[in-house]
Amino acid sequence: MNNIIHLLPDHIANQIAAGEVIQRPASAVKELLENAVDAGATTIKLLVNDAGKALIQVIDNGKGMSADDAKMAFERHATSKISQIEDLFRIKTMGFRGEALASIAAVAQVELKTRRAEDELGSLVEVAHSKIIQQEACVAPVGTSISMKNLFFNIPARRNFLKSNAAEMRHIMDEFIRVAMAYPEIFFSLNSNGQEVYHLEAGTRKQRIVQILGNSYNAKLVNVLEETDYMTISGFVGKPETARKTRGDQYFFVNNRFIKSAYLNHAVNAAFEGMIAKDSFPSYVLYIALDPTQVDINVHPTKQEIKFEDEKIIYAFVQAAVKHALAQFSIAPSLDFSLNADIQGLDAVSKPFTAHQQEAAVSSSLYKTFSQKHQAHFIEPTPKSELKSWKDFFKPSADSSGTIAGLSDANTLEEQYTGGRLLQIPQVQHYLQVQQSYIIATTATGFLLVHQQLAHERILYEQYSQAVHNKQAPTQKSLFPIPLELAESDKVLLQELLPDLHLIGYQIEEDEQHQYVIQGTPADVSTGNEKHAIDMLIEQFKHFNSDVNFSKKEKLIRCMAKQQATKTGTQLELKEMAALVTALFECNTPNISPTGNPTYIEYKGNYLEQLFKR
Ligand code: ADP
Ligand code: MG
């Protein structure tokens, strides 16, 4: 007997295979919830004890199983969801591998009770060690109740590997939330050790999201909706103020399946650029729906990663949809929500096809959404012709002399365009200040209502950023050196800030007695106010320090912008208003203040008409 290869006993093979699907209680929760969804349930209850280690039970009112199916369900590769290989490419259900129940049966003691509406009696099946140990007819409500006890009871090594109850419960709640968010039309509840943790009535998506993420989101969700023949994206993004220090409330669903995609996450972040701090994370719940043939959900056993046929187009689409939504929310004139210039260089968009491919591509509905005017994602074929159409926005009006620097000059315009900025800059005709807080700037088509303080914060924020990141800002020399009397702890703080303060335009030096002395300030700090400005800055910086996770530079810039901005309640001269509005529109992101509020609102002719219901 020299042969050394032998077949593994079934129960060991099953346990090994089960390891792929069921890593922890939360994996079983996910599979059982998905089965209930696939069964068409409208009510799904999840009960767990000891974070699922002692018991996981899912009760649904779905279509149930026949007595034979109830037994079959525990066989490996037993599924009712696909029957031929082609089915794999048009999956509409959550499950399809036929592995979940087999895996669960290999690692826990399972009891299944199920009844179909057409059967008078239901069936009860008990399974342990992958073997059916009992089956009998029983009285049962329509639907399925499946409970699994003592997960990994037969594999102590795995059981020991489980984390604390708190950690495993967190995983369970994550899976529960992901399924519940995808199916707001289904009632879900989660009960842990006899206590109800979630009770989610059926409702709209928005209601479901608010139920899960908390009421504070109610007024802070911006609707996202873009539809094309190829795909639809819908859902919500949080207003900039809901951005978090930690990657928290970010959810992507593709055909109602929760997925993790760093790539698509990047697309959303890119859409928020300039509206939230660089190191914070926007919140979003986005649902992508597309033809199942365009995605491969088969690449990962637990199906959280998927492959798209054409990832780059999905990226562009997601980014454009979010930008569009944000632009609408801020009621700003068209933010640049056309596709990123990079997209035009993509193989998918620019590579020459074979004639045959080209023909097929051009007639596809996807292509049309990007290539036909008046479609949301229209891309002009070449940058040159795009420039031509955008130029129309910049036609100098009669009295625009110098209102907005450089814009009547076609060359400058071209440079500006290629610099990637694509903003509609209004030609202002008159200015008027209201309540010493707002500026009304009339344009050819209506008027802008500008918030003077928020607008000024945006302007200063960009100026300071530029100074800190690129070049030295001008300093105005103080006539007399101004000594700063600082507490020791504040001195330490100031010392850390000195290099950046210097870039912004401050000149602060240490004298022989180790006291700091102001020798010069940025041009916009008024005389007499220098010492106070630094005191305030240190105070604000300390305050900011504790609640927002910005980099030191970013914090400094934000404090400075807030502090130096012309406050509401300040009377402005005509000249000052003009300078402010002009400078605002020279900003990269004129429509949003550094804290995420709108800086101005545009009222256009037809909107005004509507207000008067004409
Ligand atoms: P899959 O979901 O991949 O088909 P599973 O092992 O999860 O594989 O389930 C096997 C089969 O058992 C399913 O295809 C389905 O027919 C049946 N089944 C499982 N759970 C339920 C349920 N809650 N209600 C009705 N049928 C179910
Ligand atoms: Mg399943």
DSSP string, 287-311: EEEE-GGGEEGGGSTT----EETTH
Mean pLDDT score, 470-495 = 79
User: From the CA of 345, how far away is ligand 1's center (Å)?
Assistant: 45
Q: Binning pLDDT at 50, 70 and 90, where does residue 467 land?
A: confident
Bridge partners (DSSP) of residue 145 are 59, 113
Say whether pLDDT at 374 is over 60. Answer: no
Say whether pLDDT at 575 is over 60. Answer: yes
Q: Is the CB of 95 under 6 A from ligand 1?
A: yes
CA gap 547, 351 in Å, rounded: 48
Say whether pLDDT at 131 is over 80. Answer: yes
CA gap 353, 349 in Å, rounded: 10
Residue 590 CB coordination number (10 Å): 24
In three-state secondary structure terms, 478 is strand
Residue from 21, 38, 45, 112 whose mutation best tests the ligand 1 pocket (most atoms within 8 A of CB): 38
User: From the CA of 79, how far away is ligand 1's center (Å)?
Assistant: 6
Q: Is the CB of 65 under 6 A from ligand 1?
A: yes
Quote the pLDDT of residue 393.
Answer: 26
Q: Binning pLDDT at 50, 70 and 90, where does residue 301 land?
A: low
Average pLDDT value over all residues in the chain = 78
Strand ranges in 88-246 using DSSP code E only, listed in sequence order: 109-115, 122-128, 131-138, 143-149, 187-192, 195-200, 221-227, 231-238
Among 125-129, 230-234, 374-378, 479-483, where is mean pLDDT lowest? 374-378
pLDDT tens readout for residues 497-506:
888 888 888 8
CA gap 104, 97 in Å, rounded: 14
Q: Which two tokens stand for residue 452?
A: 């003077």
Please say whether the beta carbons of 44 and 188 come within 8 A: yes
Query: Which ligand is nearest to the Cα of residue 45, counting in written order?
Result: 1
CA gap 266, 3 in Å, rounded: 54
Q: Which amino acid belongs to residue 68?
A: D
Q: Whose CA is nearest to atom 18 of ligand 1?
A: 35
Q: Binning pLDDT at 50, 70 and 90, where does residue 207 land?
A: very high
Say whether pLDDT at 613 is over 80. Answer: no
Q: What is the CATH code for 208-328? A: 3.30.230.10
Please say whether the beta carbons of 468 and 557 come within 8 A: yes
Bridge partners (DSSP) of residue 442 are 430, 447
The CATH architecture assigned to 402-614 reads 2-Layer Sandwich (3.30)
Q: How far is CA 391 from CA 57, 235, 383, 578, in A?
A: 64, 34, 12, 23
Say whether pLDDT at 82 is over 60. Answer: yes
What's the order of all strands across the beta sheet hosting 507-510? Answer: 475-484, 516-522, 507-510
Among 177-181, 364-368, 490-494, where is mean pLDDT lowest? 364-368
- Give which of 257, 37, 27 is closest to 143, Cα–Cα: 37
Quote the pLDDT of residue 28.
Answer: 96
Between residues 302 and 71, the one the model is more confident about: 71
Q: Which amino acid belongs to residue 230?
A: Y
Q: Which amino acid belongs to residue 300?
A: H
Among 45-49, 92-96, 229-233, where is mean pLDDT lowest? 92-96
Quote the pLDDT of residue 347.
Answer: 42
CA gap 316, 15 in Å, rounded: 43
Q: Is the CB of 79 under 6 A from ligand 1?
A: yes
Residue 355 CB coordination number (10 Å): 8
Say whether pLDDT at 400 is over 50. Answer: no
Q: Is the CB of 178 under 6 A from ligand 1?
A: no
Bridge partners (DSSP) of residue 448 are 441, 602
Q: Is the CB of 36 under 6 A from ligand 1?
A: yes
Say whether pLDDT at 92 is over 90. Answer: no
Quote the pLDDT of residue 399.
Answer: 31
Mean pLDDT score, 124-128 = 95
DSSP one-letter string for 121-162: SEEEEEEETTEEEEEEEE---SEEEEEEESTTTT-HHHHHH-
User: From the CA of 101, how far away is ligand 1's center (Å)?
Assistant: 7
Among the atoms of ligand 1, which is closest to the Cα of residue 100? 6
Say whether pLDDT at 311 is over 70. Answer: yes
Say whether pLDDT at 125 is over 90. Answer: yes
CA gap 411, 388 in Å, rounded: 13
Count of positions (residues) in the chain: 614
Say whether pLDDT at 439 is over 70. Answer: yes
- Give which of 122, 126, 116, 117 is closest to 140, Cα–Cα: 122
> Is beta strand 43-49 parallel, antiparallel or unpaired with respect to 187-192?
parallel
Break the chain into its structural domains and give their ranges.
Answer: 10-200, 208-328, 402-614
Residue 553, H or E segment: helix 552-564
What is the dihedral angle through the alpha carbons of 234, 236, 239, 244, rounded to the nearest 10 degrees? Answer: -120
Q: Binning pLDDT at 50, 70 and 90, where does residue 303 land?
A: low
Task: Using a pLDDT cut of 90, give the percent of the chain over it.
Answer: 31
Q: Is the CB of 122 under 6 A from ligand 1?
A: no
- CATH 3.40.50.280 for domain 10-200, yes or no, is no
- Give which of 287, 223, 294, 231 is closest to 259, Cα–Cα: 287
CA gap 107, 153 in Å, rounded: 7
Among 224-228, 348-352, 369-373, where is mean pLDDT lowest? 348-352
Quote the pLDDT of residue 262.
Answer: 86
Q: Binning pLDDT at 50, 70 and 90, where does residue 338 land?
A: very low
Q: Binning pLDDT at 50, 70 and 90, where does residue 550 land?
A: low
Q: Binning pLDDT at 50, 70 and 90, where does residue 415 land?
A: very low
The residues, any chain, with a CB within 8 Å of residue 2's CB and separated by 6 or more, are none
Q: Binning pLDDT at 50, 70 and 90, where does residue 304 land?
A: low
Among 281-290, 431-440, 523-532, where is mean pLDDT lowest? 523-532
User: From the CA of 175, how far away is ligand 1's center (Å)?
Assistant: 18
Quote the pLDDT of residue 390.
Answer: 26
